[in-house]
A and B are shown apart, each in its own frame.
Chain A
Amino acid sequence: MSAEAIRVGVRRPARRLFVHQLRSEQLVFWRSREAAFFIFLFPLLLYVLLGSVYSGKIYGVPAPEALLAGLIGYGCANTAFAGLAIQLVIRRESGILKRLRSTPLPPATYVGSLLVSTLIVFALQAAALFLLGRALYGTPFPSDAGSFAAAVVIGAAVFAALGTATASVIRSAEGSSAVVNFILLPTAFLTGSFGPTRHYPAFLRAIGDVLPLRYFINLVNAVYLRGHGFWTQPQALAVLAAWGVAGLVFTVFRFQWEPRER
């Protein structure tokens, strides 16, 4: 066999398997009404709700644009952190992950396609938020689409790492949604996903200032509201990278395929 044949022979099934698994993940996601509602639609509903509450300007930009940036932050954390964590715990505790381990599907293909599937859901959600903003409030699309796409991918990767890490510490499927939202909702409020935080007490703002969602929203603000390139935000990128690496390392050491409860 020539080197070329070996390469094709090895590579093509790997890609075929990845595409197969990605399609399976998308089917599983969209078939679940709860996931489609709470993960995909919920941020859109919140945008409509908050958009009707706030008017005028927030931080010197029209309120619908500032809220849009905040909800992209919330949507990212909701999809890649909360949604992924809950799905993973349910799959682990119900034995699906264990069952998949005895098939020829490589773990890296499984995890990779799950992450890409999550990214697809979030990217669609971001697109839907922009369309909604344009339709309801006349908000503009991002001027630098490349930088915005980069921000979306970076945010999804960081929150997915934190989501898998969180899934590793949650023991039961029943409690997973409560635990995850107990983390996510205060985070979203403290970091300004749902509106300005300047009237919050200083200590609450200080807490918000260490959370990754704050820096993701900063990044989105810079790219969307001010038209900067994503690379012009070294502080936000550094903090996000630190959280992402922490989540990844934790995941590598603590991730489990088999049910925790016996």
Chain B
Amino acid sequence: MHAIEVSGLRKAYGNLEAVRGVDFEIEEGEVFGLLGPNGAGKTTTVEILEGYRKRDAGEVRVLGHDPERPGPDFRERIGVVLQQSQLWPNLTVRETHAIFAGYYRAPRNVDEVIALVGLVDKANARVKSLSGGQKRRLDLGIALVGDPDLVFLDEPTTGFDPQARRAAWEMIRSLRSLGKTVLLTTHYLDEAEQLADRVAVLREGQIVRVGTPAELTTTDLQTEIRYRQDGEEVLVRTDEPTRVLADLASAAVARGEELEGLQVRRPSLEDVYLALTAEEQEAEAEVEA
């Protein structure tokens, strides 16, 4: 069974169409990344699935529930990390976990969860004394304390320094080993690549590509071959880099010349992402279409 099924999802705020027909499915136990720049509609999509916002159109099933009319066990089974939220500043990390644990029928052991998110040293510290990264780990801890089957993480590492991000990645990987289904949003490409089994690239409320990180790089973007000839920079874009390179090389050899500054570049996931999310590209595509 799918943990999440979304089809034809739409949501507008006044005239602004934030989500314009989104379809995807997430398997149980899968880590699914929703990748896109700011304003792409990630939070809107996720908060519709969490039951915070009402959709305008489309079908949504989350753990078999319609989040707009969830059955009693829906909130027992989901864990939520919001893009932005604070907790009670004067309570300690352990007290905060214990309060949330009390809301669930079968919570996890509070100290185990605190250890899982790496806050053992801070268990008795007040929330207001935590760093940004530690607060985010607390958000993750209280999302896990109810032992959910499905965890929503809306930009869990935005604003982290590289070290804190690595640590957060480790934690999110450990969710997979716990068998949780995870829906993660991010605008960091490397994060999606590192963590997600599959990635959907969202742009202006539409999914422009879905696949494994490896599949996303096999794309229609062409390989770039660069070299200098007579002091001029030459750039060739091609789908057949082997043949083009062979031709160029044999011609150069025949002339007794060197292909100066020769570079062959396969598109990276970054290039694909930029191409998929860049607005000029869309403008061009629309002119062609």
Contact = CB atoms under 8 A, between A and B. Distances in A.
Q: Do these two chains interact?
A: yes
Given A17-B102, A27-B91, A98-B52, A104 B76 contact: yes
B90 A28 contact: yes
Given A17-B103, A20-B102, A96 B86 contact: yes
Nearest to A94: B86
A199 interface: no
Interface string B56-100: 000000000000000010011010101011111011000100011
Given A24-B99, A27-B99, A102-B75, 10 more contacts: A13-B105, A28-B91, A94-B86, A98-B82, A99-B85, A102-B51, A103-B103, A104-B75, A104-B76, A104-B103
A227 interface: no
Contacts of B84: 95
Contacts of A31: 88, 90-91
A105 B95 CA distance: 17
A57 interface: no
B169 interface: no
A104 B105 contact: yes
A99 B80 contact: yes
DSSP majority for the A interface? helix
A32 interface: yes
A36 B90 CA distance: 12
Interface in A144-190: none
Contacts of B91: 27-28, 31
B146 interface: yes
Contacts of B51: 102
Contact of A101 (B52, B90, B99, B102): B52
B104 A102 contact: no
Interface string A19-50: 01100100110011100000000000000000
B50 interface: yes
Contacts of B50: 102
Contacts of A98: 52, 82, 85
A28 B90 CA distance: 7
29 contacts: A13-B105, A20-B99, A20-B102, A21-B102, A24-B99, A27-B91, A27-B99, A28-B88, A28-B90, A28-B91, A32-B90, A33-B90, A94-B86, A95-B82, A95-B84, A95-B85, A96-B85, A98-B52, A99-B85, A99-B142, A102-B50, A102-B51, A102-B52, A102-B78, A104-B76, A104-B103, A104-B104, A104-B105, A104-B146
B34 to A, nearest CB: 18
B75 A99 contact: no
- The size bracket of the interface on B is 20 to 34
Nearest to A100: B103
Contacts of B75: 102-104
A105 B100 CA distance: 9
A31 B95 CA distance: 11
A27 B72 CA distance: 28
Interface string A64-99: 000000000000000000000000000000111011
B85 to A, nearest CB: 3
Contacts of B72: 104
A160 B280 CA distance: 55
A94 B85 contact: yes
A13 B91 CA distance: 24
B80 A102 contact: yes
Contacts of B76: 104
Contacts of B102: 17, 20-21, 24
A37 to B, nearest CB: 13
A98 B52 CA distance: 8
Contacts of A32: 90
A94 B89 CA distance: 10
**Leading 3 A-B pairs by shortest Cβ distance:** A95-B85, A94-B86, A20-B102
Contacts of A103: 75, 100, 103-104, 146
Contacts of B85: 94-96, 98-99
A104 to B, nearest CB: 4
A34 B91 CA distance: 14
Contacts of B99: 20, 24, 27
Contacts of B146: 103-104
Interface in B94-119: 95, 99-100, 102-105
Contacts of A102: 50-52, 75, 78, 80
A11 to B, nearest CB: 14
A27 B52 CA distance: 28
Nearest to A102: B80
B29 to A, nearest CB: 21
A29 to B, nearest CB: 10
Interface in B24-74: 50-52, 72
